[in-house]
Amino acid sequence: MSVAEAVAARRSCRAFLSDAIDADFVRDVLVKASRAASGGNVQPWRIYLLHGKRMDTFKAGIAERVAKGLVDTPEYPVYPSPLKEPYRTQRFAVGEEMYARLGIPREDKMARLEWFANNYQFFGAPMAVFVAVDIDMVTAQWTDLGGYMATVTLLLEEAGLASCSQECWSVQHKFVSKFVGMPAKEMLFAGIAIGKADVEHPVNGFMTARAAPEVWLRDA
C-alpha cells in the first residue's frame, strides 16, 4: 500500500472486532511514527499504550463513571464556541449521516447519548493509546501531536488495522491520567482506538466528505 492509498483508505472506525492485536507490533508502529515532522525536533508527544487485562480494567472503571454521568472540566476546548460556518455545518453533517446509518433519529436523544458512550469503550477496540503533552508546550507543539497521530493512523492502515482518534477523553482526563500514571506535568490530549474493523457494522459503511478544493485551496 502506498502512502497515497493509505491516506485515501483511512477513516475513523466506530465499531471494532474483539480480536487480539499484537502489542509488540503496535509498539513498533508507535516508534516508527516518531519520525513524524516536529518543529525544532522537540518531539512533544508522550504516549501510553493500553491493552490486555489493563484495558479490561480500564473499560470497567470508565464505564462506571460514564453510567454515573461523571465528567471532568476539559483542560482545552475541543471546538470553539460558537463553532462558526462552514465548520458547524460540516460537523453537523457527519453526525447526521452517522446516526442515520445507525437508525437513530434526531429526536431520540437518549439513544444518541447511549451510542456516544461507546466512545468510552473505544468502540470495542482491544487496544488504544493515549497521547499527552507537557503542559509547558505551546500551540506549535500541539500541531506536532496531530502530525504524530496522523502518522500512527496511516501506518496502522498500511498494516490492515483500523483506528479512531478520540478527543472525547478531554472530559475524562483525570481518570485517564491517574490510571496510566501520567505525571502532573503532562496533559492528556486524545486517544486512539486500535483494532480490526467490524466491516459488517453499518457505522463503518461511510466515509466523511471533504470540502471541495475551491473552498480551501488558493494559488498565492
Residue 216 lies in a domain: no
Residue 64 lies in a domain: yes
pLDDT in tens, 96-117: 999 999 999 999 999 999 999 9
pLDDT in tens, 9-19: 999 999 999 99
pTM of the complete model: 0.94
State how far the alpha carbon of 160 is from the alpha carbons of 38, 48, 78, 108, 119, in Å. Answer: 26, 22, 29, 35, 21
Instruction: Name the residue range of residue 29's domain.
Output: 3-78+121-205
Structural domain total, the chain: 1
Residue 215 lies in a domain: no
Residue 130 lies in a domain: yes
For the segment 204-218, the average pLDDT, to the nearest whole number, is: 93
Q: Is the peptide bond before 202 cis (omega within 30 degrees of 0)?
A: no
State how far the alpha carbon of 7 is from the alpha carbons of 35, 124, 147, 156, 215, in Å. Answer: 17, 24, 13, 11, 20
Residue 110 lies in a domain: no
At 197, which CATH number? 3.40.109.10
In the chain, what percentage of residues exceed pLDDT 70? Answer: 100
CA 176 from centroid of its chain's CA atoms? 14
Residue 218 lies in a domain: no
